[in-house]
Amino acid sequence: MTPITEPIIVQAVDRSVVETVEAFVRFRPGFHGDTGMRDYLYHRLMTNLPDGGTYRRADGEGTLLAQAEWYTTLKYRQKKAKGPSPGHFDLAIPTPEELDLTKPRPLAAFECGRKKNATVLLRDLDAPADHEGPEPADITKLAREIRWAGLHYGYALEFYDKNQGEAKELISQLRRLVPSGESDRLHVVVLVCIGGGRPALTFLPAAWEERIRLRFRAELERIESLTCARSGAGVPRRAGTSGGHGNRVPPEDFLSSCSNEARALIEAVEQRFGDQVRLVFGGIGMTVNRRPKGRLLRIEKASDAICKLDPAVSHELAALLHLSVRQTSYKIDGTQAFREAVIAAVGRALDK
């Protein structure tokens, strides 16, 4: 059994980050939004961490070394919430010495972003520890938890496959806004990978870049010699995503510009029902359709709501949400309970 120590975890994390970067460069069309990045990083962490990413006690029980949706210590202002509450990290790894505790502190936390604006990622960066007003921006959460809550390491993977200027702005702001004492523990990799071009990689801070380029020299030279995969290359086209169909757009364009809550719901529907449904994406909304035909529901981007529901879906959803009257639209609630209710309603409608 491999010992679970901080140095071994850090080595596994660095390797997992490099492998996630390479996978994105090679297989970019297969990464759908932030969730695709997070899931691949989780896969690599569980592969590279000791004992397949598991910790086992003598009694046979234990825990996972990489865990998703880890709650923050500090509070943030959530959308649609009545008051400040803890946010969550995409992934985290518990402190090795506390693996037997019910609630161990995180040793390292991770945030994954695709095509995100620098101003959004770094919002309220200087907010004090007791400030309950910051919005839970990716890098802000990591920096504040390092500064005020004792997080040892924060890792942000920010990938750009369209707007190179936004990547440059993020790098510039990070170098200007993050104090050197914190930057030793806040690690950010910025990847620019535009289809048909060569990838451009920046690791921050400089000390991390020096270490990771020394240890993974051959791997990074190989990655930077690759040509970035073009959108749609080698991927079967979904109905509604090819050109010549009015306002329809590729799935990644819609998923990268809608709310996190809507994206999580869409990805959950796709994962649960697969070929039973057909997803059609447009500039302002998308629909989930039966196969061979028939709309089940529509998601509007501007209102962040579900609307135009199939009568069977509408009936089942109202019942699952314990509503006496069916609604014509439902504001997308980011909770797991709401997602599960929508999934169940769609499933029951498909079974009829």
pLDDT digits (tens, 9 = 90+) for 178-228: 765 556 899 999 999 988 889 999 999 989 999 999 999 999 999 999 988
Q: Is the pLDDT of residue 146 over 80?
A: yes
- For 294, other C-beta atoms within 10 Å of its C-beta total 11
217 vs 251 pLDDT, higher one: 217
Residues 219 and 341 grouped into a single domain = no
pLDDT in tens, 285-336: 999 999 888 999 999 988 889 999 999 999 999 999 988 878 888 999 878 8
- The enclosing H or E element of 330 equals strand 329-331
Q: Bridge partners of 277? A: 290
Whether residue 102 sits in one domain with residue 149: yes
pLDDT of 245 > 60? The answer is: no
The rounded distance, in Å, linking the Cα atoms of 52 and 335 is: 30
Dihedral over alpha carbons 344, 345, 350, 352 (to 10 degrees): 110
Domain that holds residue 332: 251-351
Are both 207 and 338 inside the same structural domain?
no
| Domain match, 195 and 278 both | no
Beta bridge partners of 299: 286, 306
219 with 284, same domain? no
166: β partners: none
The pLDDT value given to residue 182: 57
Whether the ω angle into residue 205 lies within 30 degrees of 0, i.e. cis, is yes
Last residue of a domain, one of 207, 224, 241: 224
Closest CA to 33 of 135, 120, 112, 136: 112
pLDDT per residue as tens digits for the range 259-276: 878 888 998 898 888 888
Per-residue pLDDT band at 235 (split at 50, 70, 90): very low
Give the pLDDT confidence score for residue 258 in this predicted structure: 81
Residue 231 resides in a domain: no
Strand (E) or helix (H) holding 309: none
What's the whole-model pTM score? 0.66
Q: Tokens for 196, please give them.
A: 């048909």
Are 127 and 46 part of one and the same domain? yes
Closest CA to 89 of 138, 16, 152: 138
Question: Are 174 and 163 a contacting pair, CB within 8 Å?
Answer: no
Residue 247, SS3 per DSSP: coil
122 and 209 housed in the same domain: yes
Answer yes or no: is 232 within a domain. no
Write down the pLDDT at residue 99. Answer: 95
Residue 218 lies in a domain: yes
Enter the tokens of residue 145.
């938890």
Q: Tell whether 215 and 279 lie within a shared domain.
A: no
Mark which of 177, 205, 224 sits at the end of a domain: 224
89-to-38, 70, 319, 350 alpha-carbon distances in Å: 10, 5, 32, 34
- The band of 29, judged by pLDDT with boundaries at 50, 70 and 90, is confident
The pLDDT tens digits of the residues spanning 132-144 come to 666 778 899 999 9
Ranked by mean pLDDT, the top range of 79-83, 91-95, 126-130, 299-303 is 91-95
**Which range among 82-96, 123-137, 141-155, 180-194 shows the weakest confidence by mean pLDDT?**
123-137
165 lies in a domain? yes
Do 185 and 261 fall within a single domain? no
Burial class (CB in 10 A: 0-12, 13-18, 19+), 3: exposed
How far apart CA 65 and CA 38 sit, in angstroms, is 15
Provide the domain count of the chain: 2
Q: Classify residue 86: in a domain, yes or no.
A: yes
Q: Which of 158, 211, 225 is nearest to 21 (CA)?
A: 158
In-domain check, residue 238: no
Do both 98 and 184 map to the same domain?
yes
88 and 195 within one domain = yes
- Look over the chain and give the mean of its residue pLDDT values, rounded to a whole number: 87
Which pLDDT score, from 0 to 100, does residue 133 have?
Answer: 64
Does 183 fall in a domain? yes
Judge if 137 and 272 occupy the same domain. no
Query: Is 193 a member of any domain?
Result: yes
